[in-house]
Amino acid sequence: MPVFAPPIADHLFILYDLLDFEGHAKLPGFEHCSRDVIEAVLEQSSRFSSEVLYPLHRSGDEEGVHFDDGKVTTAKGFKDAYARLVEGGWPALTADPDHGGQGMPHMVNVLFEEMINGANLSFGLFPGLTRGAYVAIAQHGTDAQKALYAPKLASGEWAGSMCLTEAHCGTDLGLLKTQALPKGDGSYSITGTKIFISAGEHDLTENIVYLVLARLPDAPKGSKGISLFLVPKVLVKDDGSLGARNGVSCGSIEHKMGIHACPTCVMNFDGATGWLMGEPNHGLKAMFAMMNTERIAVGIHGLAIAEASYQNAVAYARERLQGRAPSGPREATKPADPIIVHPDVRRMLMTQRALTEGCRMLALWTAQALDVSERHDDQGERKTADDMVALMTPVVKAFLTDCGVEVANLGIQVLGGHGFIRANGQEQYLRDVRITPIYEGTNGVQAMDLVGRKILHLDLFGSFAKPVQGFIARLEGDERLAEFLEPLAASYDLLEDATRLIRERSGLLPEEAGANAVDYMRLFALTAVAYLFARAAQVSLPKGNADFHRAKLTTARYFMQRILPDTASLHAKIVAGAGPVMEMDERLF
Ligand SMILES: Cc1cc2nc3c(=O)[nH]c(=O)nc-3n(C[C@H](O)[C@H](O)[C@H](O)COP(=O)(O)OP(=O)(O)OC[C@H]3O[C@@H](n4cnc5c(N)ncnc54)[C@H](O)[C@@H]3O)c2cc1C
C-alpha cells in the first residue's frame, strides 16, 4: 500500500536547529512567523497534502485530463481540491500582505511546495505557475496591472500560466516569432502559437492570466528583441469584473510520459489583447526576475518526488520477505527476512535518504538567502545574499531534479518487479519526475549558466567559498567533527581546483566550459551538500542519543563515505577536459 507523510521533523530540524529560523524571523516583515505559527502551517499543509491531494495522485495519473473542442477538464476531484486550496489561503502563503497575502518567508514556502508536490506533482503545478505569474506581476506590473491582477492571483481565484516555448524555439528563445502589434490604446494584439504550455487551459478557475513572450514590430532580432505581455483568458473590466472572452484558445493537449493530470497545451493567440509588462524588448529580463523563485520551485519538484519515492521504498522493504540476512535469520519464525536486511537494499535506501535530506538542506539554505536578499535592512547583506542566490539557483534546479530522477529510479529497484508494475505507486514517481530536469531550462543549460555566467562572467564563486572555507577553518582540529570535516575539505579542494582549471582553459578552447559544465555542477552541488551535512553533524553530535539525531549522523556519515567520493571522479573528468568530448568527427556519430 503506497504511503505518503511529510517529514516534518526534518523540516523543523533544518529550519530551527541548522539554519536558525528564530533569528531569520527577525527580518523585517517576518514578525508574525513565531515557531507556533510555523509549526501550525507545516502541520496543516501536511494534512492538506496527505488527506486531500495524495488520494488524487494515482487516480489523476490514470484518468489524465480531457480535451474537447478547446475545453480542458481536469481529473475527478481536482476542482474540489483546488477550491479547498484557495479556501485554505494556501496560494497566498508568500504573497505580499498588500495583495492579501500572508507574507511568509520563502523558506516556509519551500516546505509547503515540497509537501504538495510530493503528494501530487500534477496538482502542484497549478498553484506553482500561478505563484510565478503573481511574482512577475508584483515585480514588473504597472500599478494598474497590480491592482487588477495581483490579489486575484495571490488568492488563487485566478490561475497563471507561462507562455515562452514555440515549436521552433525552446532553449533558444531568441528564435521566437509570436508578434505583438500596438493597438493604439495602450494595449497590444498578440498573435502566435505557443506549445508545451503547462496548465494553459483548465476548469479550475474562471480566468487564467498568461505571461507571454512576443516581439514588437520594430524589435531587434534575437533575445534582445523580446517583450513580455500580460494576456488574460477572459478580459477584465476596470472594476475587476470579467468581460468578454479574449482571443486565446487551446488547440490541443499533449500525450506524455508523466504528470498526466496537468494539461500540457498548444495555445493559440489570435489577435488576443495583451498589455506590456516591464520595458519593451526587455521581456527576458522581466521573466528572469522571477526565475530565481521558479527555478528553486522546480528543484523542489525533484526533492518532493525523491521524498515520496523514498518513503514508499522503505515501507515496502520492511514488508517484503525474501532471503535471509547475511549474518543469519532476523525473523526466524517467518519464511524469510524483510528485504531491508540486505546490504544492497540498504545501499539503495541510504542513497535515497542521503540525497533527499541533502537536497532539502540545499533548497532551504538557498531560500534563506533569497529571503535575506529581499528583506534585510542592510544593503550590503542584501547584495551578498543576492549573489549567493544567483550562484546557487541553477545548482538547486539541476541537482535537486537530477536527484529526483535518481532517487525515484532507485525506488523502483528497491521494489524489484513490483516497482515496475503500477500497483505499488513507484513507477509513477519516475514518470512524473522525469520532466523536471527538462522544463524551466534543461539541466544542461542550468550547468552552463553556473559555469559560464555565474562563475566565469560574474565571478560569484566567492559567495560559496567564503562560508565553506570559514566553517572548515573554524572547526579544523575538532576531533569529533573530523570524520565530516576532512571529506568536506578534500572535496572543497577538488572543487576549487576544478574552478581554477575551468577559468584557465575557458579562454583557450570555446567548448571547454560547455563540455565540463554538468560534471562541474555536480561536483559543486555535492560539495555544498557535504558542507550542510557537516553543519548538521555539528548540531546533532551533542544530541546523538535521540533517534532523530542518531539517524541524522548516520545519514551524514553515509553521504561523506559513500556519495561524496564521487567528487574525485568528477574532478578527473574535468581534468580530462573538452578534448575527448569534441574529438569525434560529426559524420562518425
Ligand atoms: C511537460 C512539459 C511542460 C512544459 N511547460 C512549459 C510551460 O509551462 N511554459 C513554457 O513556455 N514551456 C514549457 N515547456 C517547455 C520546456 O521549458 C522546454 O521543453 C525546454 O525549455 C527545452 O526546450 P526544447 O524542448 O525545445 O529542447 P531544445 O531547446 O531543443 O533542447 C534539446 C537538447 O539540446 C540541448 N541544448 C539546446 N540548446 C543548447 C545550448 N545552447 N547549449 C547546450 N545544450 C543545448 C538541451 O539541453 C537539450 O538537451 C514544457 C515542456 C514540457 C515537456
Q: What is the DSSP string of 482-540?
A: HHHHHHHHHHHHHHHHHHHHHHHHHTT-TTHHHHHHHHHHHHHHHHHHHHHHHHHHHHH
pLDDT tens, residue by residue, 462-479: 999 999 999 999 999 999
Q: How many CA atoms lie within 13 A of 330 on its CB side?
A: 15
Q: Whose CA is nearest to atom 7 of ligand 1?
A: 197
- Rounded to whole angstroms, how far apart are CA atoms 178 and 157? 28
Q: Whose CA is nearest to atom 25 of ligand 1?
A: 170
Q: What would the grid cell of residue 361 be? A: 538542506
Question: pLDDT value at position 293?
Answer: 78
Which ligand 1 atom is the nearest neighbour of the CA of 259? 1
Q: Whose CA is nearest to atom 2 of ligand 1?
A: 196
pLDDT tens, residue by residue, 110-119: 999 999 999 9
pTM reported for the whole predicted model: 0.97
**What is the distance in A from the centroid of ligand 1 to the CA of 168?**
10
159-282 CATH: 2.40.110.20
State mean pLDDT over 320-342.
96
Residues with active-site annotation: 440
Place of cell 533569497: 370
Q: Hey, how many other C-beta atoms are within 10 angstroms of the C-beta on 4?
A: 21
Question: pLDDT value at position 358?
Answer: 98
**What is the distance in A from the centroid of ligand 1 to the CA of 266?**
15
Q: CATH classification of 8-155, choosing from 1.10.3720.10, 3.40.50.720, 1.10.540.10, 1.10.1040.10?
A: 1.10.540.10
State mean pLDDT over 25-52.
97
Q: Which residues line ligand 1 (CB under 6 A)?
A: 162-165, 170-171, 196-198, 256, 264, 435, 438-439, 441-442, 444-445, 514
Q: What is the dihedral of CA 409, 404, 256, 114, to 10 degrees?
A: 130
What is the CA angle 453-132-28, rounded to 5?
Answer: 85
Q: What are the backbone dihedrals phi and psi of residue 524, each rounded to the nearest 5 degrees, phi first? A: -60, -50
3-state helix, strand, coil in the chain (%, to 5): 60, 10, 25
Let me know: does 560 contact 489? Beta carbons within 8 Å: no
Q: Whose CA is nearest to atom 42 of ligand 1?
A: 445
**Distances 35 to 43, 322, 361 between C-alpha atoms, Å:** 12, 45, 19
Beta bridge partners of 192: 269
Which ligand 1 atom is the nearest neighbour of the CA of 441? 21
Best of 165, 255, 294, 397 to mutate for ligand 1, by most ligand atoms within 8 A of CB? 165
First and final C-alpha spacing in the chain: 46
**What is the distance in A from the centroid of ligand 1 to the CA of 226?**
18
Which element (helix H / strand E) includes 67?
A: strand 66-68
Q: CATH classification of 290-441, choosing from 2.60.40.1730, 3.20.20.70, 3.30.1330.10, 1.20.140.10?
A: 1.20.140.10
Q: How many CA atoms lie within 13 A of 507 on its CB side?
A: 4
Question: pLDDT value at position 586?
Answer: 96
Q: Whose CA is nearest to atom 30 of ligand 1?
A: 170
Which ligand 1 atom is the nearest neighbour of the CA of 199? 8
pLDDT tens, residue by residue, 344-374: 999 999 999 999 999 999 999 999 999 999 9
Place of cell 541533502: 358
Beta bridge partners of 182: 188
- Rounded to whole angstroms, how far apart are CA atoms 116 and 54? 8
**What is the distance in A from the centroid of ligand 1 to the CA of 165?**
8
**Distances 405 to 64, 155, 309, 398 between C-alpha atoms, Å:** 22, 32, 10, 11
Q: Whose CA is nearest to atom 12 of ligand 1?
A: 165
Domain edges within the chain: 8-155, 159-282, 290-441, 451-579
**What is the distance in A from the centroid of ligand 1 to the CA of 21?**
36
The alpha carbon of 577 is separated from its chain's Cα centroid by a whole number of angstroms, namely: 29
**What is the distance in A from the centroid of ligand 1 to the CA of 133?**
20
- Rounded to whole angstroms, how far apart are CA atoms 233 and 242? 10
State mean pLDDT over 89-116.
96
Best of 173, 442, 450 to mutate for ligand 1, by most ligand atoms within 8 A of CB? 442
pLDDT tens, residue by residue, 42-73: 999 999 999 999 999 999 999 999 999 999 99
Place of cell 542566490: 389
Confidence class for position 1, pLDDT limits 50, 70, 90: low
**What is the distance in A from the centroid of ligand 1 to the CA of 179?**
21
**What is the distance in A from the centroid of ligand 1 to the CA of 164?**
10
Confidence class for position 545, pLDDT limits 50, 70, 90: confident
Helices (H), strands (E): how many in the chain?
21, 11
pLDDT tens, residue by residue, 163-174: 999 999 999 999
Confidence class for position 292, pLDDT limits 50, 70, 90: confident
- Rounded to whole angstroms, how far apart are CA atoms 24 and 26? 5
Which ligand 1 atom is the nearest neighbour of the CA of 442? 47
Which ligand 1 atom is the nearest neighbour of the CA of 440? 17
Three-state DSSP class for residue 256? coil
Q: Whose CA is nearest to atom 14 of ligand 1?
A: 196
What is the share, in percent, of the chain residues with pLDDT greater than 90?
A: 96
- Rounded to whole angstroms, how far apart are CA atoms 229 and 218? 16
Q: Is the pLDDT of residue 192 over 80?
A: yes
Let me know: does 514 contact 450? Beta carbons within 8 Å: no
- Rounded to whole angstroms, how far apart are CA atoms 164 and 166? 7
Best of 213, 229, 291, 439 to mutate for ligand 1, by most ligand atoms within 8 A of CB? 439
Q: What are the backbone dihedrals phi and psi of residue 298, each rounded to the nearest 5 degrees, phi first? A: -70, -35
Question: pLDDT value at position 260?
Answer: 98
Which ligand 1 atom is the nearest neighbour of the CA of 438? 20
- Position 511: which residue type? E
Q: Is the pLDDT of residue 572 over 70?
A: yes
Beta bridge partners of 277: 228
More confident call, 287 vs 503: 503
Question: Of the candidates 264, 257, 230, which has an alpha carbon nearest to the alpha carbon of residue 246?
Answer: 230
pLDDT tens, residue by residue, 393-404: 999 999 999 999
Which element (helix H / strand E) includes 229?
A: strand 227-232
Confidence class for position 289, pLDDT limits 50, 70, 90: low
Q: Is the pLDDT of residue 544 over 90?
A: no
What is the share, in percent, of the chain residues with pLDDT greater than 70?
A: 99
Which ligand 1 atom is the nearest neighbour of the CA of 213? 11
Q: What would the grid cell of residue 390 be? A: 544567483
Q: Whose CA is nearest to atom 27 of ligand 1?
A: 170
- Rounded to whole angstroms, how far apart are CA atoms 82 and 408? 26
Q: For the chain, what is the mean pLDDT? A: 96
Q: Is the pLDDT of residue 189 over 90?
A: yes
State mean pLDDT over 228-256.
97
Q: What would the grid cell of residue 424 be? A: 505499488
